[in-house]
Chain A
């Protein structure tokens, strides 16, 4: 019994320590992010942010587009196989359009970015810790949070919602292609139906989710990198941990947001 209490207590303290570190880092980075903004901030930080945006956004574009196309096609086919039985094949358009805008677009993008950029953040920062580059920044009178973390945060906050919009477009386009091949519905007409089925709150829900997911991915990736202690093997562990934790937290946040929007939509 004492052993069980000891283990559970240790686990709880460890998780509390992690959540505490996330909060401290979030506050420090939000304060430093002002310096990464264009015009009002430091031009070097903004340049670093643009480089990061290229890495996170442009680099992930083909992957996200392909992922969204496949998922859109799958969703349309699965929906059609059931809806056809009730003579409601046209509802596939609503299913794909609303499903992607509210849910699948931001979620698929977050999972792709988490695996691609979240792990890269952890590996880069972890390596910088191991090779004393973070210490070098400090003794050169730079603020590592501003120098390393802030551009990654800002770039994620800009890139992930943009990528989500791209994912939405390609996912919905895949649904249109399915409808064209199965019912000969013209693509322009399909997009007309899509626009009538989506409401502003669907778009807002998607944007809010993708901003939250971007924060989680950047946050966890950077924290895992900064928590690296030891040698190169620790960098490998932190990279794995960054992907696992950020994917888990993204899905958890998605569940929370979806529940909130569900109850807000009912009232």
Chain B
């Protein structure tokens, strides 16, 4: 039974359809990668799954609860089973790294402070930041912030981890380290992960299943090999990095020549 199930999801902004009757199942214990170009609807789908926005129609079931129709109390319960590492990390700038990770533990559990300190240290150690707990987010590099966001997402031992563009803005080495971290967490904690990305190398390194999104529709869903062998023209274009509107050098040169001639004629 899928842990996340999206059914006939339709989302419109100002009459413009961003997600168009989308269906997707995320299986437990697997890493599912949502792959797609800019403006394909990846982030919108993620916001819908996290219950940050309500759709025009359709349903999203997370562990059997429809987050598009549930009460605020049910939504909170569902959210406690999801850890999210945002694209920009979204660490609280006024809190140290330790306090960022400890926040949910202090406020949503009855654990003793010493136990919370131990858990925080363990979570930071998992992401390799055990020695940096006293630092504030502004004192961290981009890669460290992303890892800190993962540590915070792990705080309540969630069953589902969501990563929004984990490799965005990182150099290839740090991005690869983050990929390995995601794989390690899947192996170590049997976590279900949903990763939104447009980085092909990262997607094909970590994914058990890939869902390819374009213009608000799922073009293909399958294993890495199934996606590689897909005959869908848009999928092939994306995987082969073929541009939509290639720059035609002769046309550009002609335009520039005409522009210069017009300027000379005016002067």
A binds B: yes
Interface of A toward B, CB cutoff 8 Å: 42, 44, 127, 131-133, 135-136, 138-142
If A132-B86, A132-B87, A132-B90 touch, whether A139 touches B103 (CB-CB below 8 Å) is: no
C-alpha spacing A135/B89, complex, angstroms: 11
CB-CB under 8 A from B52, the residues of chain A are: 135, 138-139
- B84 & A139 in contact (Cβ 8 Å cutoff): yes
The reply on B88 being an interface residue by CB < 8 A is yes
Q: List the 7 shortest-distance A-B pairs measured between CB atoms, nearest first.
A: A136-B90, A132-B90, A141-B76, A141-B79, A139-B84, A132-B86, A141-B80
CB-CB under 8 A from B264, the residues of chain A are: none
- B108 & A141 in contact (Cβ 8 Å cutoff): yes
C-alpha spacing A127/B77, complex, angstroms: 27
Nearest-CB distance from B200 to chain A (Å)? 25
Cβ-defined partner of A142 (8 Å) among B77, B84, B90, B107: B107
- B76 & A44 in contact (Cβ 8 Å cutoff): no
Interface residues of B in 83-110 (CB under 8 A from A): 84, 86-88, 90-93, 103-104, 106-108
C-alpha spacing A133/B90, complex, angstroms: 5
C-alpha spacing A131/B52, complex, angstroms: 15
CB-CB under 8 A from A140, the residues of chain B are: 79, 84, 103-104
C-alpha spacing A139/B75, complex, angstroms: 9
* B contact face: mostly helix, strand, loop, or mixed: mixed
The reply on B182 being an interface residue by CB < 8 A is no
C-alpha spacing A251/B148, complex, angstroms: 46
Nearest-CB distance from B198 to chain A (Å)? 18
- A44 & B86 in contact (Cβ 8 Å cutoff): no
CB-CB under 8 A from B50, the residues of chain A are: 135, 138-139
C-alpha spacing A132/B106, complex, angstroms: 21
Nearest-CB distance from A214 to chain B (Å)? 23
Nearest-CB distance from B267 to chain A (Å)? 37
Nearest-CB distance from B52 to chain A (Å)? 6
CB-CB under 8 A from B195, the residues of chain A are: none
CB-CB under 8 A from B47, the residues of chain A are: 135
- B84 & A136 in contact (Cβ 8 Å cutoff): yes
CB-CB under 8 A from B80, the residues of chain A are: 141
- A131 & B108 in contact (Cβ 8 Å cutoff): no
The reply on B82 being an interface residue by CB < 8 A is yes
List the B residue with the shortest CB-CB distance to A138.
Answer: B52
Nearest-CB distance from A226 to chain B (Å)? 14
C-alpha spacing A135/B50, complex, angstroms: 9
C-alpha spacing A44/B99, complex, angstroms: 12
If A140-B79, A140-B103, A141-B79 touch, whether A135 touches B108 (CB-CB below 8 Å) is: no
Nearest-CB distance from B19 to chain A (Å)? 18
- A44 & B106 in contact (Cβ 8 Å cutoff): yes
CB-CB under 8 A from B84, the residues of chain A are: 136, 139-140
Nearest-CB distance from A191 to chain B (Å)? 42
C-alpha spacing A44/B113, complex, angstroms: 14
List the B residue with the shortest CB-CB distance to A136.
Answer: B90
- A135 & B107 in contact (Cβ 8 Å cutoff): no
29 residue pairs A–B, Cβ–Cβ below 8 Å: A42-B107, A44-B106, A44-B107, A127-B93, A131-B88, A132-B86, A132-B87, A132-B88, A133-B91, A133-B93, A135-B47, A135-B50, A135-B52, A135-B86, A136-B92, A138-B50, A138-B51, A139-B50, A139-B51, A139-B52, A139-B79, A139-B82, A140-B79, A140-B103, A140-B104, A141-B79, A141-B80, A141-B108, A142-B107
List the A residue with the shortest CB-CB distance to B86.
Answer: A132
- A135 & B106 in contact (Cβ 8 Å cutoff): no
Nearest-CB distance from B193 to chain A (Å)? 15
CB-CB under 8 A from A135, the residues of chain B are: 47, 50, 52, 86, 90
CB-CB under 8 A from A141, the residues of chain B are: 76-77, 79-80, 104, 108
CB-CB under 8 A from B104, the residues of chain A are: 140-141
C-alpha spacing A132/B153, complex, angstroms: 14
C-alpha spacing A76/B34, complex, angstroms: 71
Nearest-CB distance from A258 to chain B (Å)? 39
CB-CB under 8 A from A131, the residues of chain B are: 88, 90, 93
Nearest-CB distance from A152 to chain B (Å)? 13
Nearest-CB distance from B111 to chain A (Å)? 14
C-alpha spacing A127/B138, complex, angstroms: 14
CB-CB under 8 A from B91, the residues of chain A are: 133
CB-CB under 8 A from A42, the residues of chain B are: 107
CB-CB under 8 A from B108, the residues of chain A are: 141
C-alpha spacing A42/B93, complex, angstroms: 22
Besides A131-B90, A136-B86, A138-B79, 15 other CB < 8 A contacts? A44-B107, A127-B93, A131-B88, A132-B88, A133-B91, A133-B93, A135-B50, A135-B90, A138-B50, A139-B82, A140-B79, A140-B104, A141-B79, A141-B80, A141-B108
